[in-house]
Structure 1
Amino acid sequence: MQMEDKKTMPVDGARLIQDVLAELGWDADAATVADGVRRLDIGLPVEDEFSVVCAWLGKCQLLHKLDQQQVPVTSKQEYQVPDLLARFSTQANKSPVLIEVKSKKDKLLSFKPDYLKRLQNYADLVGMPLLIAWKFHSVWMLFEARHMTKAVKNFNITVGTAMRENLLGVLAGDVAYKIGAGAGVHLRFRKDKLVGTEKTEDGYTEQWMMTIDEVVFTDRDGNRRMDLDGEVQSLITAWDLEEKEEHTDSHIHLHFVAGNEGIQFAHTALVHLLSWESPQDDRLHWRALLRKEQITANVTSFSTALDAAFRQKFVSHIFHVQPHAMPDFLPPH
């Protein structure tokens, strides 16, 4: 019997094909069009990642990309369409916000004056606030464009200012948190059978057939917990735990425990959770995640899991970060 490996087209496949043909023209050969569709399906990772983050944090009511094919062509001299339009349940006004998305690892984000002016002209035209989403290494910041200040030539903002004016918490629902020192997971492996021994420069190594005969969680007070909720377990595994190994004649004990240092944002935990759920994939396909109703398989609601972990003494601190200057479209806190 001959079997065919059939791959399904993305739900927005027709739109992808249409966009590629609009760029390449109807005379483009099929292979070129197919390659263009694949590249477009991979998407613009930074925009897609930020969109997934907003959807996952729980306060986003609507977010979509804006079509940036402008007519007439001369309009590009005056207007620049931002990347995204979004509406959050935390807003005090009814109008959505516009978001331009950037990724830069330098400690300074810089816009040319005419570029920022065109973005602001569009925002003024439609009467919506203009925000900038900046990914600095693995951390996202979201701030009003007005916080960018004129330097010699360009409008700039530093990481420090962007963090001080970060709206990702009050607008989108992001929080910072800390797993309590001493909280972690402990695995006990029973040595069933010695398979082999090999000499080394420092001594020798042993190969054993083993069975995991105990998995125990400990809270920040050192209490043993064997009935921990699955979402709280996932929260702990998403933390950067310190590893310690112990050997006895009958067992090997592996301890993964939180140390005294470290604070993590909810949105950075998302990347850890996704990577942990699919360790075989080195690269997250953010565009595909946009199509999923539940983004993470093991955590339905991060805020609910975080509150549960705090009550059960695994999380020691939860920080709700506010900007120095609260925007008009958010209620006073």
Structure 2
Amino acid sequence: MQKNDVAPPDLPRLIQDVLADLGYDVDASTVAEKVRRLDIGLPAEDEFSAVCSWLGKCELIHKLDQHQVPISSKTKYQVPDLLAKFSTQSNKSPLLIEVKSKKDKQLSFTPEYISSLQNYADLVNMPLLIAWKYHSLWILFEAKHMKKAVKNFNITLDAAMKENLLGVLAGDVAYRIGVGAGIHLSFRKDKLLNTEQNEDGKTEQWMTVIDDVSFTDREGTRRIDVSSDTQALITTWDLDEVEDHTPSHMHLHFVARDNGIQFAHHALVRLLNWEAPNTARPHWRGLLRKENITKNVASFSSALEMAFTEKFVSHVFHFLPHEIPEFVPPIRLQKLPMNHPKA
């Protein structure tokens, strides 16, 4: 149920009636709370699936049914969360992905847990990967990089980032909006509505009309012919706001500063928040049912290329893992001449 949907006030009673019809003796309020918790996106695999779908290199991804039988099989096998196939793979078989969300800088599995996951992967002869969400950052790495410590198998955030496969498999990149690039709005002052005196001077309220919208690229050139993809990409960046006034106009400037880099998968959340500002969080399960995850950017890679060509994006970073898995084709790095536009 989406946040703006109205739930019936007697929802727990309706659930209780259904449970009674099915022959289950369970507290309806407990079931309703569990359903609500599922709906608000606690299963991180929904978010990871949406990220992979949007990045553009995923051919197929779906959940695996974990209601395995016989019950005794659980002592040896654990079915991972997802099965995925990427167009970037060199092998024909799909990959198995176990999804975890943890805010500590170390991910830890018990020996029994990782062994049961690996046993299943060996049974179906598929590579086993771990998708780890650390705050808003997604990392994808081979399970074999988890090393046994005193008791459990662990991996640090730093080690996981060094073996991150989200770029070479799913198409994730990092980028930077050029310093000085931004959007500029001009408001014509039509009528003074109110004036209030305060310690700093006065505050005026005006009836205004937007009479000009323009952009500046990373070279500081004023632009009005900017593609919709580039405009959407600008909204994913933290822009500084500057306001100035003339007797006839108020001007708002939203300009990029040197604010580091942004990952493509994090830009997805920014775009969704821009498209639905009144929603507290993306409804990942609902988004997976749509043809396009976002309304404004159908292909992030195409949008990034356009924004670079139009001189709004200044850098694009492709991250490679320290160890290239056998299911990823050998990656040949090409050194570009210094006068190349992407050098």
Q: Distance in 2 between matches of 1:136 and 1:68?
A: 24
**Larger deviation, residues 132-141 vs 44-53:** 44-53
Which residue in the other structure is 1:154 paired with?
152
Query: Which amino acid is the alignment partner of residue 189 of structure 2?
Result: K
Deviation at 1:89, TM superposition (A): 0.6
CA contact (8 A) 1:45 1:287 kept: no
Q: Distance in 2 between matches of 1:315 and 1:91?
A: 28
Q: Distance in 2 between matches of 1:140 and 1:40?
A: 20
Aligned positions of 1:186-265 closer than 5 A: 186-265=184-263
Deviation at 1:222, TM superposition (A): 0.7
Deviation at 1:44, TM superposition (A): 3.8
Structure 1 residues 108 and 283: alpha-carbon distance in aligned structure 2, compared to 1, 3 A threshold:
same
Q: Distance in 2 between matches of 1:133 and 1:267?
A: 13
CA contact (8 A) 1:45 1:286 kept: no
Which residue in the other structure is 2:73 paired with?
75
Query: Which amino acid is the alignment partner of residue 215 of structure 1?
Result: V
Task: String of CA shifts for 1:234-260, please: whole Å, max 9, x gaps.
Answer: 001111111111122211111111112
Q: Between the two proteins, what is the percent identity of the paired residues? A: 69
Q: Distance in 1 between matches of 2:202 and 2:150?
A: 65
Gaps of 5+ in 1: 1-5, 8-16
Gaps of 5+ in 2: 7-14, 332-343
Q: Distance in 2 between matches of 1:130 and 1:280?
A: 38
- Counterpart secondary structure, 2:130: strand
Aligned positions of 1:82-231 closer than 5 A: 82-231=80-229
Q: Distance in 2 between matches of 1:329 and 1:144?
A: 11
Q: Which runs of 4+ in 1 moved over 4 A?
A: 28-43
Deviation at 1:202, TM superposition (A): 2.3
Which residue in the other structure is 2:287 paired with?
289
Quote the RMSD (CA, aligned, Å).
2.2
Task: String of CA shifts for 1:74-96, please: whole Å, max 9, x gaps.
Answer: 11111111110000011000111
Q: Distance in 1 between matches of 2:303 and 2:320?
A: 22
Q: Distance in 1 between matches of 2:306 and 2:98?
A: 35
Deviation at 1:270, TM superposition (A): 0.2
2:23 matches 1:26? yes
Structure 1 residues 92 and 185: alpha-carbon distance in aligned structure 2, compared to 1, 3 A threshold:
same
Structure 1 residues 136 and 30: alpha-carbon distance in aligned structure 2, compared to 1, 3 A threshold:
closer
CA contact (8 A) 1:326 1:332 kept: yes
- Counterpart secondary structure, 2:229: helix
Q: Distance in 1 between matches of 2:40 and 2:239?
A: 32
Which residue in the other structure is 1:266 paired with?
264
Structure 1 residues 128 and 259: alpha-carbon distance in aligned structure 2, compared to 1, 3 A threshold:
same
Deviation at 1:213, TM superposition (A): 0.9
Aligned positions of 1:41-56 closer than 5 A: 41-56=39-54
Query: Which amino acid is the alignment partner of residue 26 of structure 1?
Result: G
Deviation at 1:41, TM superposition (A): 4.5
Question: TM-score scaled to structure 2, two decimals?
Answer: 0.87
CA contact (8 A) 2:238 2:259 kept: no
Q: Distance in 2 between matches of 1:284 and 1:155?
A: 32
Aligned residues: 316
Deviation at 1:37, TM superposition (A): 5.5
Task: String of CA shifts for 1:135-189, please: whole Å, max 9, x gaps.
Answer: 1111100000011111111111111111110000000011111111111101111
Which residue in the other structure is 2:329 paired with?
331
